[in-house]
Every structure is written in C-alpha cells, then in structure tokens.
Amino acid sequence: MRVGVLTGGGDCPGLNAVIRAIVRKGVQEYDYEFVGFRDGWRGPLENATVRLDIPAVRGILPRGGTILGSSRTNPLNARDGIRRVEATLAEREIGALIVIGGEDTLGVAARLADEHGVHVVGVPKTIDNDLSATDYTFGFDTAVNIATEAIDRLHTTAESHMRVLVVEVMGRHAGWIALHSGLAGGANVILIPEQRFDIEQVCTWVTSRFRASYAPIVVVAEGAVPGDGDMVLKDGTLDSFGHVRLSGVGEWLAKEIEKRTGKEARTTVLGHVQRGGTPSAFDRWLATRFGLHAIDCVRDGDFGTMVALRGTDIVRVPLAEATARLKTVDPGLYEEVGVFFG
C-alpha cells in the first residue's frame, strides 16, 4: 500500500519524530511505500510532494520543525478544494493518509473521512496542549521547558534591578503553557485566557511581592484578557483563524503596572522560540509512540480515528470527537496554583 503523510498548522517540536516512526515501522514491518505531502493541506491541494523513505528520515529524531513543511492552508476554503485533494490522492494511488496536526488540520481530516470516505488517520500536535481527546500533545513539554528556563533567567535580572518582569508565552485560547511554566518557574502571577484578570489585583500582588523584598515575575498567556475587556476592543486583531487575537498583552501589562505601582517593569515576549529547536525527551517519546500507533491504525484499516494519550496508554478515538472542543484550564486547577500569587 502507498501511504501519504502531511503535517499542517503551526510547527511543533516532535513532528519529525512522528514521521520517522511512521516510515520506519511502515517500511520495515508492513512493506508500505510513502509519499510526503508538502506544506500541510497545500500538498494534496496542489499535488506537491516530498520523497519519504528510510534515507529521508535518517537522523531527524532530534530535529525541530518538519521535513515535510507546514502551512495553514485549508482546502475547505479553497475553490473546489476537497475535489482537488481527492483527485491528488487518486492520481498518486494513496491508500491511506496520515494527517499530523492541530484542531484546524484535523478538522479537515474529519470532514474528509466522514463525508468523503477518505482513509484518514489523525495524529494530534500542538504546543498549546489544548486538544480535548488526548491528555498531552507532543511539543507542549518542550515549550514548557523553554519558557521555564526563560523564567529562571528572568528572576536573576529582575532581582538585580528590583523590577517587575512580565513574560508573555503562547496560548491563544488555553493557558496550559503559562500555568505549567509559571508554576515550574516560581512566577508570582500567572494570567490565562480562561480567567479574565483584574489589573488592580495584579498590581496588589506585585506590590506585596516588593514589600517582601522580591522582584515579581508575571507570566501571561498571549490570549489573557483584562476584566473590562477594553484592551480587546482597542488592540484586538483577527488571526489567521478569524479569532480575535490581542496584540501585546505583555507590553500592555508592563505599562499598566508601571503606571499604577510606580515600579519599573519590562516585558519579554517568548514567541516562536517556544516552537523551535530540538524536542524534549518526553516529546520524542510521545511523538514516536503516536507514529507507531498511527501506522498500526492503517494496517488495521481503522480509519477516521486519531491516536491519543490516556494515562500512559495510546488509544484510538474518533477524529470527529477529537476536534469537537478545546481542552482549557479548569478553574479549580487555576485556583490551586493561586496560592503562590503575590
């Protein structure tokens, strides 16, 4: 059989580890051939491919990014998109398609499977860890480690100058990276998209921290919003999904804190550093297991499914269910870490 593979959406550390596992097991155990589709759904849409065999996956396990390239192209938004995808799959005699992606990319995969009978298997990825059907997505652990290291470093410079340091991390809709890195890095305030924050309360925490002779670190997810919502209206822009996206919540916070507390404040925006570079050992382990199980789904003819982590087991869930809702931070969990604020 010939199996197609694509990686769509924002890249994330561990994508190459999945591709390597799929190809190694697929060739060695099942004698499959592979076709890599270039740049996510753009590949099948425009019939753009990449060679994908054992030599192509040699040495890629520790490499960040994806050897297949990625994009946010969505065939549902392209003229005749689904028909063009189907035509490419037929022309290239693709018996099964493994789609590695987040909410958007997998949403297309679910439609193709359910409405057009395409033999699709999904693999979840996102540094945001916000896919509900899986306990963890690979890329998240690496992003949290990068953010934690940054927070550790920012503590010493904050202390030297007795300043407030605001660290903006990724997370448009879910605060998992902020919560995990903030807790691991000993932040004094953590702000997440799930809970509107009160700028006055933030300033009270900041001030109490200075009173105890420490310089505060404020970790804020890029999607966090102040209670009155003013900033959204003033500074919100539409991202590539058409969602409202704040520009510069970190900068805004530092300015407000300076103005209201009289303390000097600086902002560090970690941005795409969180997505780049080599995956952590955990992400290589998870990505490899996802890849091995995805190719087993192909062998079993188990299509329209996605592999997922539940506890320490890899399970199969319907693709449609996997993309139905986002996994956000539970208020109880947020309250639990609140004991460290201020």
Binding site feature residues: 10, 103, 126-128, 163, 170-172, 222, 266, 272-275
Residue 289 makes contact with ligand F6P by CB under 6 A: no
First CA to last CA distance, the chain: 59
Catalytic residue among 11, 39, 104, 128: 128
235 assigned to active site? no
* Near ligand F6P in 200-229, by CB under 6 A: 222
128 or 256: CB nearest ligand F6P: 128
Helix, strand, coil share (%) of the chain residues, nearest 5:
45, 20, 35
Q: Which amino acid is at 92?
A: R
* Near ligand F6P in 237-276, by CB under 6 A: 240, 275
Residue 8 makes contact with ligand F6P by CB under 6 A: no
Distance, C-alpha 27 to centroid of its chain: 29
Residues 6 or more apart whose Cβ sits within 8 Å of residue 103: 9, 126, 130, 131, 323, 326
23 or 144: CB nearest ligand F6P: 144
What is the total residue count of the chain?
342
* Contact predicate 123/99, CB 8 Å: yes
Among 66, 73, 88, 126, binds ligand F6P (CB under 6 A): 126
8 or 171: CB nearest ligand F6P: 171
Residue 171 makes contact with ligand F6P by CB under 6 A: yes
Q: How far is the CB of 242 from ligand F6P (least distance, A)?
A: 12
Q: Nearest 5 degrees, angle CA 110-CA 317-CA 301?
A: 75
Residues 6 or more apart whose Cβ sits within 8 Å of residue 262: none
Residue 279 makes contact with ligand F6P by CB under 6 A: no
The site for ligand F6P, by CB under 6 A, has a size of 11
88 or 274: CB nearest ligand F6P: 274
- Stretch of 47-55, 74-82, 120-128, 315-323 contacting ligand F6P, by CB under 6 A: 120-128
Residues 6 or more apart whose Cβ sits within 8 Å of residue 216: 158, 164, 165, 188, 189, 205, 206, 209, 210
Nearest CA to 103 out of 324, 334, 338 is that of: 324
Pairing of β 120-124 and β 49-51: unpaired
170 or 191: CB nearest ligand F6P: 170
Q: Is 314 helix (H, G, I), strand (E, B) or coil?
A: strand
Q: How far is the CB of 38 from ligand F6P (least distance, A)?
A: 17
Residue 134 makes contact with ligand F6P by CB under 6 A: no
Q: How far is the CB of 44 from ligand F6P (least distance, A)?
A: 21
Q: How far is the CB of 120 from ligand F6P (least distance, A)?
A: 21
Residues 6 or more apart whose Cβ sits within 8 Å of residue 304: 110, 113, 114, 120, 318, 319, 320
On the 0-12 / 13-18 / 19+ scale of CB atoms within 10 A, 215 is buried
Among 172, 180, 209, 289, binds ligand F6P (CB under 6 A): 172
Residues at the binding site for diphosphate are 10
Residue 42 makes contact with ligand F6P by CB under 6 A: no
Cβ-closest position to ligand F6P: 170
- Stretch of 35-43, 168-176, 182-190, 296-304 contacting ligand F6P, by CB under 6 A: 168-176
Q: In what order do the strands lie in the sheet with 164-169?
A: 189-191, 217-221, 164-169, 265-269
72 or 289: CB nearest ligand F6P: 72
- Stretch of 28-36, 61-69, 164-172, 277-285 contacting ligand F6P, by CB under 6 A: 164-172
Catalytic positions are 128
- What are the residues binding ligand F6P (CB under 6 A)? 10, 102, 126-128, 170-172, 222, 240, 275
